[in-house]
Amino acid sequence: MSGIEKESLEAHVDMCGERYNNLQKEVSGMGKRMDKMESMLTEMRDIIQKFQTDRNRQLMSWGVGIIGALVAACGSLLFLLLSS
């Protein structure tokens, strides 16, 4: 608190009003930045979920392919065993 504020109530009220306005501007600016960060995080979450979904599909495709190959190999071995 400055010396002029100690001497004059009006000056003190005016200074407090200025401080309040500055704080209000800072809080408003922080809110905008938080909104921007939230949208960026949401976008990142969506991208990560898409990558996870794509990776799961890829793993399932590989699994189906491997199981199919094993079933075909077993079928051909069974056919060779039965035909002999």
Note the pLDDT of residue 68. Answer: 97
Q: What share of the chain is helix, strand, coil (3-state, %, to 5)?
A: 95, 0, 5
Nearest Cα neighbor of 36 from 46, 47, 44 is 44
Q: What is the pLDDT of residue 2?
A: 64
> The pTM is what?
0.57
Please give the residue that has the higher pLDDT: either 31 or 84: 31
Question: Tokens for 44?
Answer: 């990142």
Distance CA 44, CA 76 (A): 48
Each residue's pLDDT tens digit, 1-15: 667 777 788 888 888
Q: Tell me: the pLDDT tens digits for 33-62? A: 999 999 999 999 999 999 999 999 999 999
- Collapsing DSSP states into helix, strand and coil, what is residue 80? helix
